[in-house]
Each structure stands twice: as structure tokens, then as C-alpha cells.
Structure 1
């Protein structure tokens, strides 16, 4: 079966975005707008996966989900794939909700402690490089970086890909850009006017409480579109059952 792993926004976030898009949908009948009830943030597309791999896949992804606290996200901004001037897909971006939230005043900076031997003696630049490399490498292996920390979406996607690879469910492609697909064009189209219309949108914050494994049944949905079927729901930040 064709599978993907995704975060699914709750009904409130879906309705808010759908209401914002309603006049734009009416103005763009030539676009193939996606069904709001199918909106999701794909972390990894796995393509065809044999059913006998599902138990191992669910176990591996459950372990990944348990390592991270549920991230709080919002839908914001817009763009197009592969580019705005020959677009085939129109999308809305997804980002941490805190990135647009007011920040609390910073506490007074504490006096610097003497540098200890080892890694803490690195310059700030090299420490930052090392820690970013370490996080990315461990995520690719499906290992925790800071258990219980809210998931960085790129890191979470890398961990999902690593867990899928480990059980032979090889993900498709390597690029990750968190988004919700809004519409598709039948042919390459200059889409800058659509991006300008949607880009100012900033949706309400929502918490992605689960990783979802979803089967895509091509041509079985309304208007010969795919029909989605949830195969597994894996809670974020809680150890797998059993």
C-alpha cells in the first residue's frame, strides 16, 4: 500500500484556513483545490510498503514519536513547487507557533563561568556547528537529541525517515519543507498572484499530538482523487504501549 507519515491539523485550524481561502477558491476554478479534510503536513512519503512491514514500521515510528514533546505549530505564509514561475503545487507554510508569538523579557545575563576542559572549551561558533551536526546525525539514525523537547520539524522528519529506512520502507526524495498542499495546477503556471494573496495568512496555533501513518488509495476519492485511510496514530511524547 502507498503510505506517508504526517502531522494532521485539528478541525479548528482547518476551518480557519478554509474560511480564509473560500473567496480565493471561488476566484480560481481552474485550480484543483485540495479537500480541507485531507490537509496534512507530510514528514515522509514512503510509497509502496508491503503489509508485512507495517508492524515493524509502526514500532519504529512509535519510538520516534515518544522521544519528542508534541510541537505547537501554525499555518503561515505561502509558496509554490517547484517555483512560483512554473508552479504545479500551491502550498501554505507550517512553522513553530512561537516564531510569531510575543517573547518574554530576557532574564539578566549571568556571569560567564570559567571554561571547562573538553567541548565546553570550544569557541561559540564551533560549539554551535558541532551541536547542529550532532543533532542532525542522531536524527538521521532515529536517536533522541534532547528527549522530551518539542520537535523541530526538520529533525522530526529526519528521524521519521531514519526509522522507515531501518525497516525497509525507503522514503521518497530527500528535500523537506513543511507545508500544507492547497491546490494543484494542471500545467506549469505563473503563481505569484496566488502567493501574494495567501502569504499574509497567519493561522491559529495548534498542537500536533500524534504522528499519523496514512494510506493513500489513488482514484478512490471524490472526483477520482486519492482516498486517505489512517493506518496508525502514534502519540507524541509518550512511550509506546506494549
Structure 2
């Protein structure tokens, strides 16, 4: 088995993802994420060889968590100032169950010798990627959706996914799904 580009994430229910795609403002230079690709990344792991990937699967499968609900709130950009690279949907402030799950996933990766991205984690859903778009051109859309409320999303599983980069965007494959107790 070859090296895989891996991440651990939470999938968005199809009905919610479709509704989010419907927010696409149609701005030039803004490429909206397809509904089936929308997810919240718990940990990006990068290129992983087969043996550590197998060890990671075992550790992730042993993670126990209870179902919880995640609030989807507020549309903004990364970075918040300057030229935006990403349009993102926030997930409320400091959701304890989400941060506990993130820590367990990160600890599992560290235990098998992986170094996940250890920069400060800002949980979000990437809605679109931007290229050559100014914040000024996006301002009407951002103002109209700053207080967007997507409701509560049930979180009852997380997935280990492989990501294959193509000229038309990434293709994700679920390698493992771990369900809530």
C-alpha cells in the first residue's frame, strides 16, 4: 500500500451541505466546495506510510465519544483581514465536546509517531476557496451572512479520510469511520 495523504474529519449531513452550497454568491475567483466534500477537519496528518497508518486506524477505532450537537454559526474568511483565501462557516465558540474529540484524535496521532498540524486549531467548515478576490468585493456577501445560523448538526461519527489531489480538486475516500457510543 502506498503512502497516503490523510486527515481526520467530521462529515456534514447532505441536506445541510446542499443548503450551504446554495449560499454561493457566484463571485469570480471564488470556488465553492462541492456538498459531498464539505467537512470539518479534526486533524490534518499529511503524507503517511502504511505501517503508521495501520497503527493510527487501531488507535482511532479505540476512541470512545458520545453523540453531540455542533452549532454552525457565522460566515467569515481566513485570513480575517487582507485578501481572503477561504470563506468559512464557524462552529460556535469553544464547544467542549468538539475540542475533547480533537484532543483525542491528536493524541492518537502523536502516539503512533505522527505530527499533526500543531498550529492553533480554528474549527470551521471551508465553504469556498478564493483566488484574487478582494475583501471589498466580498463585503456585501459577508455582511449579509455574518450572523448566519445553520442550526445544530448532530455529530455521531468521525472519519479517517485519504485525500488525492487532482487538477479538479481533492478526492476524499473514507478509510475508517468511528461511531459514537
Q: Is the 8 A contact 2:160 2:176 kept in 1?
A: yes
Q: 1:56 offset after TM fit, Å? A: 1.4
Q: Is the 8 A contact 1:89 1:184 kept in 2?
A: yes
Matched, 1:198 2:142: no
Q: Which residue number corresponds to residue 228 of structure 1?
A: 172
Q: 1:153 offset after TM fit, Å? A: 1.4
Please list the CA deviations of residues 107-141 of structure 1 after superposition, one character each: whole Å capped at 9, or x if unmatched: xxxxxxxxxxxxxxxxxxxxxxxxxxxxxxxxxxx
Q: Is the 8 A contact 1:13 1:204 kept in 2?
A: no
Q: Is the 8 A contact 1:70 1:151 kept in 2?
A: no
Q: Which residue number corresponds to residue 145 of structure 1?
A: none
Q: Which residue number corresponds to residue 92 of structure 1?
A: 89
Within-5 A mapping of 1:67-146: 68-95=65-92
Q: Is the 8 A contact 2:14 2:35 kept in 1?
A: no
Pair 199,44 (structure 1): closer, same or farther in 2 beyond 3 Å: same
Give TM-score, length-normalised by structure 2: 0.87
4+ residue stretches of structure 1 with deviation over 3 A? 191-194
Q: Is the 8 A contact 1:85 1:192 kept in 2?
A: no
Unmatched tracts of structure 2, length 5 or more: none
Give TM-score, length-normalised by structure 1: 0.66
- Alignment partners' CA distance in 1, 2:19 and 2:133: 29
Matched, 1:159 2:158: no
SS of equivalent to 2:91: strand
- Alignment partners' CA distance in 2, 1:87 and 1:29: 13
Within-5 A mapping of 1:4-19: 4-19=7-22
Q: Which residue number corresponds to residue 211 of structure 1?
A: 158
Question: Could you say what the CA RMSD is over the residues aligned between the two structures, in angstroms?
Answer: 2.2
Q: Which residue number corresponds to residue 179 of structure 1?
A: 124
Higher strand share: 2
Please list the CA deviations of residues 184-206 of structure 1 after superposition, one character each: whole Å capped at 9, or x if unmatched: 12247324433223222211322
Q: Is the 8 A contact 1:154 1:176 kept in 2?
A: no
- Alignment partners' CA distance in 2, 1:213 and 1:167: 15
Q: Give the number of the structure with larger relative contact order, counting CA–CA contacts within 8 Å between residues 6 or more apart.
A: 1
Pair 207,39 (structure 1): closer, same or farther in 2 beyond 3 Å: same
